[in-house]
Amino acid sequence: MHRLLVIPALVSALVAAGPAPAQERQVPADRAQVQLSLAPVVKRAAPSVVNVYGARVEKRPSNPFFDDPFFRRFFGDNGFGVPRERVQRSLGSGVIVDPSGLVVTNNHVIEGMTEVKVALADRREFAAEIVLRDPRTDLAVLRIAEKGPFPALSFGDSDGLEVGDFVIAIGNPFGVGQTVTQGIVSALARTQVGISDFQSFIQTDAAINPGNSGGALVNMRGELVGINTAIFSRSGGSHGIGFAIPSAMVRVVVESARNGGAAVRRPWFGARLQQVTSDIAESLGLPRPAGALVASVDERGPAAKAGLRRGDLITAVGGQQIDDPDAFGYRFATRPIGGTVPVTVLRGGREITLTVALSTAPEDPPRDPVKIGGRTPLTGITAINLSPAVIEEFYLEDADSGVVVAELVEGSPAAQFGFQKGDIILAVNGVRIETSRDLAQATNRRTRYWELTINRKGQVFTTVLGG
């Protein structure tokens, strides 16, 4: 690295000579310099960016008059001209990442959709199937239902980006058709955004608007470095603050889909981490609040086997600095399964490096899914046993007992009472629930009222509902 050396004598001479002349502006030397353009990059990347259309049919609540033959005789099957079904649609963008027709987009673009279509830049339209959904990263992978090859965009190195690098955003804002905008990388590793569980976003000032979700963020080599996923806006339009999921995370999700997985396989760390506050930093003698503090360690996990202890401060993963638990989660989750990674920790004022194995979380005990029927407030849920794998899948950081709501039938009593996927049922009518079979037995009894204790995202509450 070159350093600028300031020599006092030289400074005196420069001051005596007066102010330096203004920077000289150069006139373009030839026509080629005048016509410098991003068009070659766009031509390389644009054919791989598609429009994604989702649809699902929603049934309207039935009116009892519609079933009466007398009313149907006069008003027809639709009853007063009101259709019994309504089609809900969504619109976004996607990127072809494999010539066979794999398309990556945002999960929120296709969430709840039963029919998905993609439209290529050349206006060809194809039906697509949902191969994998990953709500934790807000990513989904589709497969075009026709044989390729299709124009695929290659992955770039998102870790190699620097603030100030030029980038291009390609998508379908407001449904007007494929649109290209250009800007720079405004910031890297944005973690306090609240969009997904693994937060380390690329921030850009390239104009991103509704409909751009799932579109490509491309570097100057025409490589995919991010998937545009959100904007910061009070009006719904672009204010020059957009966020993209780095290609390093996108690649993990795509590889899981390419290998036939129904869910993303990520390494399990086996420890809970907490933010380093100013008070904690001062107590540890740190110059600034940075790193991820180990709050607890699962004895079965790779962290414990590597020698990690409660109170250790994680400062780096694989040689890359860690500023907070979100940054650790991103860096660790993008490591390939099967190897190891060095984790640097500060313990008792001394820096040490531990080698952590990259393995998936075990399903111990097995899930043993149980669907609850009958007449109870829980009718319509499918409950599964709690295990490290389930904790990882549903991001249940504060879970250590109970059973998890894994599925929820739309319109069921449980849905109407407000239960959600990921809720942990701890007790029913004072009976502690340890397994899914315990829940099945507890809900098989007739009672007028149901006292339920629930853990929802770390908040434990008890409610009484009618049967």
Q: Is 138 annotated as a binding residue?
A: yes
Task: Tell me if residue 213 is catalytic.
Answer: yes
Q: Which residues does residue 296 pair with via DSSP β-bridges, in sequence order?
A: 272
Cβ neighbors of 124 (< 8 A, separation 6 or more) are none
Rounded to the nearest 10 degrees, how much is the dihedral formed by the CA atoms of 333, 337, 342, 343?
30
Catalytic residue among 48, 93, 213, 256: 213
Catalytic residue among 108, 158, 186, 438: 108
Residue 54: exposure state from Cβ atoms within 10 A (0-12, 13-18, ≥19):
buried
Residue 356: exposure state from Cβ atoms within 10 A (0-12, 13-18, ≥19):
buried
Residue 408: exposure state from Cβ atoms within 10 A (0-12, 13-18, ≥19):
middle
Q: Cα–chain-centroid distance for residue 271? A: 21
The neighbour count for residue 383, using CB atoms within 10 Å, is 29
Please tell me the number of Cα atoms within 13 Å of 100 on its side-chain side: 7
Per the CB < 8 A criterion, the answer to whether 110 and 133 are in contact is: yes
Q: Is 213 annotated as a binding residue?
A: yes
Give the tokens for residue 20. 């330096």
Return the axis-axis angle of helices 325-333 and 247-258, rounded to nearest 10°.
40
Distance CA 269, CA 300 (A): 10
Give the tokens for residue 245. 């999921």
Distance CA 207, CA 361 (A): 39
Distance CA 263, CA 250 (A): 14
Per the CB < 8 A criterion, the answer to whether 119 and 125 are in contact is: yes
Task: Tell me if residue 359 is catalytic.
Answer: no
Q: Is 205 annotated as a binding residue?
A: no
Task: Tell me if residue 138 is catalytic.
Answer: yes
Q: What is the sign, positive or negative, of the torsion defined by CA atoms of 90, 96, 99, 102?
A: negative
Q: Is 211 annotated as a binding residue?
A: yes
User: Annotated binding site: which residue ranges?
Assistant: 108, 138, 211-213
Active-site residues: which are they? 108, 138, 213
User: Annotated binding site for substrate: which residue ranges?
Assistant: 108, 138, 211-213
